[in-house]
Amino acid sequence: MPGLKPESFAYVEFLTSRNDDQLPREGTLWPHQWEAFLRVVYAHEILGKTEIGADGLLLNVVTGGGKTAVIAALVAWLRIAHGVQKFVLLCPNLIVRDRLEDDFAGGKVFKARDLLPESAVSSGLGNFDLTTLGSGKDGGWSSLFSASVVLGNIHQFYQSNKSGQSNLAGLMNGPEFAVFNDEAHNSPAPEYEATLLRMREKMILRVDTTATPDRADGRTPDSEMIYEYSITDALADGIIKTPVVYQPDIKTVQLTYTDAQTGERRKVEEINWEEVDRLGLNATQWVTDDEPMRQQMAIALKRLEEQERRARGRWQPVLFVVAVCKADAEKAERTLADYFKVPALLVTEDSDEADRKRAQELGKRQKSGRPIKAVVSVLMLREGWDVPEVGVILLLRKFGSRVYGQQVIGRGLRRVRVKGVVPGEPQICAVVDHPKLEHQWLWDIFNARKRENVMLDDHFDETEDLPPPLPKQEMANPDLVVDVPPADPSVVDDGEFDVGDLPPPPQPVEDWQAALDQIEYDPVVAEITKVGISGVTGQELGVKGWKTVHSAPDLSEPGITGAVTDEAARDAVKMGMLGIAEELTVEAGYAAAFKERVYGAIVRHVRRKFLKGDSLGLADRADVDFARKMLRQIKTKIGAVPGLVAGIIEYDN
């Protein structure tokens, strides 16, 4: 690092191994954290903002890779070498905020990683007073001016509310500051961007951190990525658990055809697994209908038993159940409690503060002698919810988003680090999936491999059978790297490329309301009432994976169906209509922002067809249940009318 300030050199040397000046000192940063730290120092101090990072520097570090320790090391360096007195930690939600507050309160992270030289501590440079906006604890806005570290949700600095205006004004009227934008994939939201842009006037340095830089809307943070530590890298280094996916091996399926309005059973049909695609069943039926849900839970609980044996009493593994809506979550929670006798903590957007706090402090509770074995959530527990004890993840939903899928699996990647666990001990996270959810794209992110020819009755202990990971790929000859030349503007496509005879898109239906009203529905719906499973396939998601077949779960007891509350049933219909509106909008070739028009039309359509003209909030519960069962037909039939969705978008006034 030629040209490094003497003060910076002294701090870097403090963190450097005494035996190898390319490595960090043991007990401080991990090697990948060390490289991320050095890259920020080099980019900021030697290259400068005119060369890189005018809008900030981005560190892409896998979940469980320890982003907080990197932030703390950079805070210490900026204070000691550059005299920075104020640091702003931004986060997108309360879960992330509470985790950061726990790490920085009382200088905990600095002490745990030995990031402060004794000279800095004795001179007072190591005092980092923390204030957390909106936490209800001592400090808050009154300490905004005096605190060294200001931790807040990004929304608490928005100019669209008086509290945000006040907080930002207080910050901008103080000294210059450094900004650490945690979970930065949220930052492309317009007001998020505007807030960061306003802060630039007093911003010395901005460092963004994330494990998933790609957002669900396809946008990325405006900061420049200078370091990436991927899932593959972390698996090779043994930093995270090895994910293992388990899927049922299904041979036969029994379907019961029921009148969704009257409850009358019409007929029962048993078909082979190879034939189910002709029926067009919804993917989530394979994990949310009564019998399939119980079988998936039985598989998950078997994996939980295996994890408990591996833990050997040193910690209590947790089953994490992920549902798509509140109704499915409540059903899962009741099925676990009533059928399997496993109490679970249910966390949804309507959970009270006590339950959310229990979820956030689950790691502490596991050590208290009153552990929780299962948690059920509706995408409430994603980024920032870091409970290493999560050993099994049961997916009761289909992921269409790369971001959400990775975030959920990331909840189980953090290694358990408790007394009696040696650093190199193999640890896995078992993910219970279903082939009909079509998550292979998600498992490809983890470089899935299979082990063939494993018999049904073969037994494997995954923690003993995990193959050693391949070494990380390193660039051996960086001098041979060449830049891809820019596109030649003189090359023009004059239409010589034949794209085939594609039919033109259908014309928008101007009288779309009449076309919508003419749609008729068949009240008979198919429910999966029995699934013949021959075994359960286990597949390691690592650099050299394998495939294992386990025995099928035994569900000999009569079925118990989890009850769904009235509120959850209505919420499920609402969320279902929102999802249908977005899918139909995109399928019709429009931007997702137009979904509001389609949603409004669907709401009115559902009221007329299924709710006797009442609103969703006032309709009879029986009619609400009827509408919920007809959601699959609604999407299929509206989408089958050429130009109908386009007509709603173009002509709905």
Neighbours of 555 (CB within 10 A): 16
Neighbours of 7 (CB within 10 A): 13
The DSSP string of 191-257 is HHHHHHHHHGGGEEEEEEEES--S-TTS---SSEEEEEE-HHHHHHHT-BPEEEEEEEEEEEEEEEE
Identify the weakest region by mean pLDDT among 244-253, 424-433, 448-457, 555-564: 448-457
Please give the share of the chain, as a percent, with pLDDT higher than 70.
Answer: 77
Domains of the chain (ranges, CATH numbers): 6-229 (3.40.50.300), 242-249+297-452+537-550 (3.40.50.300), 565-651 (no CATH)
Longest alpha-carbon distance in the chain = 82
pLDDT at 455: 32
Inter-residue contact 584 to 598 (CB < 8 Å): yes
The DSSP string of 61-109 is E-TTS-HHHHHHHHHHHHHHHH---EEEEEESSHHHHHHHHHHHGGGHH
CA distance 651 to 170: 48
31, containing H or E segment? helix 31-41
pLDDT in tens, 199-236: 998 999 999 998 876 655 556 778 899 999 988 888 88
pLDDT at 218: 59
pLDDT in tens, 290-321: 888 888 888 889 889 888 888 888 888 999 99
**In the 8-state DSSP scheme, what is residue 540?**
E
Identify the weakest region by mean pLDDT among 266-275, 472-481, 553-562: 553-562
Q: What is the mean pLDDT of residues 149-168?
A: 87
Pairing status of strand 265-272 against strand 242-259: antiparallel
Q: What is the mean pLDDT of the chain?
A: 81
The DSSP string of 340-404 is S---EEEE-TT--HHHHHHHHTHHHHHTTT----EEEESS-S-TT---TTEEEEEEES----HHH
Q: What is the mean pLDDT of residues 242-271?
A: 72
Please give the share of the chain, as a percent, with pLDDT higher than 90.
Answer: 27
pTM above 0.75, yes or no: no
Identify the weakest region by mean pLDDT among 213-217, 279-283, 341-345, 577-581: 213-217
Q: What is the mean pLDDT of residues 139-149?
A: 74
Residues in the chain: 653
pLDDT at 572: 87
Q: How confident is the model at residue 164 (pLDDT cuts 50, 70, 90)?
A: confident
pLDDT at 348: 75
pLDDT at 371: 73
Q: What is the mean pLDDT of residues 137-145?
A: 64
**In the 8-state DSSP scheme, what is residue 573?**
H
**In the 8-state DSSP scheme, what is residue 278?**
G
**In the 8-state DSSP scheme, what is residue 519?**
-
Strands lying side by side in the sheet with 177-182: 130-132, 149-153, 86-91, 177-182, 203-210, 57-61, 224-229
pLDDT at 448: 44
Identify the weakest region by mean pLDDT among 328-332, 345-349, 373-377, 598-602: 345-349
Q: What is the mean pLDDT of residues 274-300?
A: 77
Residue 451 clears pLDDT 50, i.e. is over it = no
pLDDT at 162: 86
Summary count for the chain: helices (H), strands (E): 23, 16
Determine the straight-line distance between the first and last CA of the chain, rounded to whole angstroms.
63
pLDDT at 195: 87
Identify the weakest region by mean pLDDT among 16-20, 137-141, 196-200, 427-431: 137-141
pLDDT in tens, 534-587: 555 555 555 445 445 555 555 655 555 556 788 888 988 998 899 899 889 988
Look at 432 and 493; give whichever has higher pLDDT. 432
Q: How confident is the model at residue 9 (pLDDT cuts 50, 70, 90)?
A: very high
- Dihedral angle over CA of 390, 392, 396, 398, nearest 10: 90
Residue 613 clears pLDDT 80, i.e. is over it = yes
Residue 33 clears pLDDT 90, i.e. is over it = yes
CA distance 410 to 211: 9
pLDDT in tens, 362-385: 656 555 566 788 999 886 665 556
Q: How confident is the model at residue 429 (pLDDT cuts 50, 70, 90)?
A: confident
CA distance 616 to 168: 40
Residue 522 clears pLDDT 90, i.e. is over it = no
